[in-house]
Amino acid sequence: MKITNDIYHIGVNDMKIDLFEGHYIVPEGMAYNSYAIMDTKVAIMDTVDRKFTHEWLDNISATLGKRKPDYLVVQHMEPDHSANIVNFLKAYPEATVVSSAKAFAMMKNFFGNEFEDRRIVVGEGSELSLGKHTLHFVTAPMVHWPEVIMTYDSCEKVLFSADGFGKFGAVNLDNVFEEDDWDCEARRYYFGIVGKYGAQVQAVLKKAATLEIDMICPLHGPVLKDDLGHYIKQYDTWSSYQAETDGILIAYTSVYGNTEKAVLKLADKLKANGCPKVSVVDLARSDMAEAVEDAFRYTKTVFATTTYNAGIFPYMREFIESLTERGYQNRTVAFIENGSWAPLAAKVMKGMLENSKNLVYAENTVRIVSALNEESEKQLDALAEELCREYIAAKEDYADKNDMKALFKIGYGLYAVTCSDGTRDNALIVNTVSQITSTPNRIAVCINKQNYSHHVIKKTGIMNLCCLSVDTPFEVFKSFGFRSGRNENKFENLDEPRSDNGLIFLSRYINAFMSLKVEQYVDFDTHGMFICTVTEARVISNRETMTYSYYFANVKPKPETEGKKGYVCKVCGYVYEGDNLPDDFVCPLCKHGPADFEKLT
């Protein structure tokens, strides 16, 4: 079929294939594309699978008529495209093979011949003139074999993309532009076959971005000419391991139906909580490649399986291995485990994912001991709520519009503020600091009036603001934050340096400090705000500033709440034992109020 003025599709369809690459089901068959470029010289772009030798050679002669091909360009040596190189060279003894050095080495392995007497070796930037058409070669190593080249025809602005932009399924040989739902089978093809090589695909996309492309001619699937931006965007999303669709995949195995029951309940709860797309896959009874594709497609995956031979059920093992070997990353994941006497599937699954980058693990794991019960049903509810937090929050009728935990999302840093009452140095930890003007530099520091430092700074009008860095150990927070400088000398036995204002600054665990002079004081009932100018400023290190969220995630030890009833302070771990936390309660350690306490359950 003619696809441009000078380019013809001469590929074939395989409608009898059972498994592509011996692995992937292809219910709609498979296309092996090949192209002829008719110019002063004639180039054939790739051969086809060995089962279609004569059909393909017939296509060549029908397209070329009395002419003979001058070149066979071999972009990829996987046998679905290279199997007929020798047959072609026998049919056309005058033709020359054009390919990469690595491909010729592979020809030696496949055919015992690397055609030294009739070949042109090309690499990055090589060109081959056919007359009007000039072919520009672009190397595409590991997309998805090392020898791959792509070819750009600058005359008709056509990119021959080898396996890139290919898909499962036969093509309409009378209209190779026809494409039904390209994304679906192109995605399954991409993640099945090319998925591991995201970085290499990104490198090729960068090269392609420098070319003016009107048409993409892949070795599988339809020829692409309309809305090329869409296909390129999809490849960019997939190869950068970003989620394509906001939604949740629940991938599960179930031996006697109890895990499945939990999965189906979770799916209903997720939908009820507003999740825009929920996909449920029984790994033992579904196409594994489809499940893999979905895991890369959606933002979140729930892994649900049974404990089996002190590990996990085999299909789940295969599934997770399929993900990790393809670079699974940048997703939220959650676990449902089942086990009749010692469930450990969640631990095993998490262990298998430990080298995957940027995974956010759900706080809630569902633990089923044989069958769902009241406790595991509650865990399902909690997981459904956690996974749908953003969907619930976006819903007008569901959202909690008075959730003050939102304030914790403000990006606070943590600081040690030093001061002196004239007889003793003091310090406290604050998170309420911000620069409010730059000319001059003005800093606002807010301090709880119950802290002795508030009293001292109000009297002396000076302080040092030390920016804590991420290496600060919990002991520093304990030492400066959880006791009062009125009663104790926080710098006893410490020999710290001093700035020009005479106050101490910390010699360790900070990346900068500023000496501040109070210009203005604003009374906020429980707190006072000091508006200050900067009298001295020094950068101490390049370490990252400690943030409030980093402190919670990485520094603060888990509070010892085992066997206790009451409320725990989320800031310092202090436990208030009692049924009701008074509204005006102030944590004796860190001085935070009831909003920072949570009930122990």
Residue 337, Cα to own-chain centre: how many angstroms? Answer: 24
- From 76-84, 133-141, 173-181, 576-584, give the range in contact with ligand FEO by CB under 6 A: 76-84
For the CB of residue 231, give the shortest distance to ligand FEO in the complex, in Å: 17
For the CB of residue 161, give the shortest distance to ligand FEO in the complex, in Å: 11
Q: Nearer Cβ to ligand FEO, position 81 or 119?
A: 81
Q: Nearer Cβ to ligand FEO, position 78 or 114?
A: 78
Pairing of strands 30-32, 12-14: antiparallel
Q: Nearer Cβ to ligand FEO, position 53 or 426?
A: 53
Q: Nearer Cβ to ligand FEO, position 114 or 163?
A: 163
Alpha-helical segments (H) within 147-246? 182-189, 198-208, 228-239
Q: Is 269 helix (H, G, I), strand (E, B) or coil?
A: helix
Q: Interface mask (CB under 6 A) for ligand FEO, residues 205-234, using x and -?
A: --------------xx--------------
Other beta carbons within 10 angstroms of residue 433's beta carbon come to 21
- From 78-86, 173-181, 528-536, 539-547, give the range in contact with ligand FEO by CB under 6 A: 78-86
Whole-angstrom CA distances from 406 to 68, 386, 399, 403 are: 72, 15, 13, 6
Q: Would you give the DSSP letter of residue 239?
A: H
Other beta carbons within 10 angstroms of residue 106's beta carbon come to 21
For the CB of residue 97, give the shortest distance to ligand FEO in the complex, in Å: 18
Is residue 48 within the footprint of ligand FEO (CB under 6 A)?
no
Q: Nearer Cβ to ligand FEO, position 47 or 448?
A: 47
For the CB of residue 163, give the shortest distance to ligand FEO in the complex, in Å: 4
259 contacts 304 by C-beta, under 8 angstroms: yes
Q: Nearer Cβ to ligand FEO, position 81 or 317?
A: 81
Distance between CA 365 and CA 378 in Å, rounded?
11
For the CB of residue 595, give the shortest distance to ligand FEO in the complex, in Å: 58
Whole-angstrom CA distances from 579 to 44, 469, 563, 564, 598 are: 82, 38, 14, 11, 12
Nearest residue to the partner ligand FEO, using Cβ = 78
Is residue 163 within the footprint of ligand FEO (CB under 6 A)?
yes
Q: Nearer Cβ to ligand FEO, position 74 or 510?
A: 74
Check whether the bond before 559 is cis (ω within 30° of 0).
no
Is residue 81 within the footprint of ligand FEO (CB under 6 A)?
yes
Q: Is 399 helix (H, G, I), strand (E, B) or coil?
A: coil
359 contacts 329 by C-beta, under 8 angstroms: yes
Residue spans of beta strands (DSSP E) within 343-405: 360-361, 366-368
Pairing of strands 441-448, 433-438: antiparallel
Q: Nearer Cβ to ligand FEO, position 87 or 242?
A: 87
* Binders of ligand FEO in range 92-131 (CB under 6 A): none
Is residue 454 within the footprint of ligand FEO (CB under 6 A)?
no
462 contacts 515 by C-beta, under 8 angstroms: yes
Other beta carbons within 10 angstroms of residue 350's beta carbon come to 16
- From 74-82, 299-307, 405-413, 538-546, give the range in contact with ligand FEO by CB under 6 A: 74-82
Per this entry, what is the length of the chain?
601
Instruction: Select from 6, 39, 46, 78 the one that contacts ligand FEO (CB under 6 A).
Output: 78
Q: Nearer Cβ to ligand FEO, position 224 or 275?
A: 224
For the CB of residue 131, give the shortest distance to ligand FEO in the complex, in Å: 29
Is residue 70 within the footprint of ligand FEO (CB under 6 A)?
no
Task: Quickly list DSSP for 275-294.
Answer: -S-EEEEETTTS-HHHHHHH
- From 72-80, 332-340, 356-364, 437-445, give the range in contact with ligand FEO by CB under 6 A: 72-80
For the CB of residue 263, give the shortest distance to ligand FEO in the complex, in Å: 35
For the CB of residue 48, give the shortest distance to ligand FEO in the complex, in Å: 10
For the CB of residue 272, give the shortest distance to ligand FEO in the complex, in Å: 43
* Binders of ligand FEO in range 526-555 (CB under 6 A): none
- Three-state SS sequence of 472-499: CCHHHHHHHHCCCCCCCCCCCCCCCCEC
Q: Interface mask (CB under 6 A) for ligand FEO, residues 125-154, using x and -?
A: -------------------x----------
Q: Nearer Cβ to ligand FEO, position 153 or 163?
A: 163
Q: Which two tokens stand for residue 216?
A: 């993409």
Distance between CA 423 and CA 16 in Å, rounded?
91
Q: Nearer Cβ to ligand FEO, position 73 or 463?
A: 73
Instruction: Select from 6, 49, 70, 80 the one that contacts ligand FEO (CB under 6 A).
Output: 80
Number of residues interacting with ligand FEO: please give it, by CB under 6 A: 8
For the CB of residue 221, give the shortest distance to ligand FEO in the complex, in Å: 10
The H or E element spanning position 346 is: helix 345-352
Beta bridge partners of residue 71, listed in sequence order: 43, 96
- 65 conformational bin, left if phi > 0, alpha if psi -120 to 50, beta if neither: left
For the CB of residue 510, give the shortest distance to ligand FEO in the complex, in Å: 55
Q: Nearer Cβ to ligand FEO, position 144 or 300?
A: 144
Is residue 76 within the footprint of ligand FEO (CB under 6 A)?
yes
Other beta carbons within 10 angstroms of residue 128's beta carbon come to 19
Distance between CA 357 and CA 462 in Å, rounded?
45
Alpha-helical segments (H) within 43-132? 53-64, 79-82, 85-91, 101-111
Under the rule (CB under 6 A), what is the footprint of ligand FEO?
76, 78, 80-81, 144, 163, 219-220
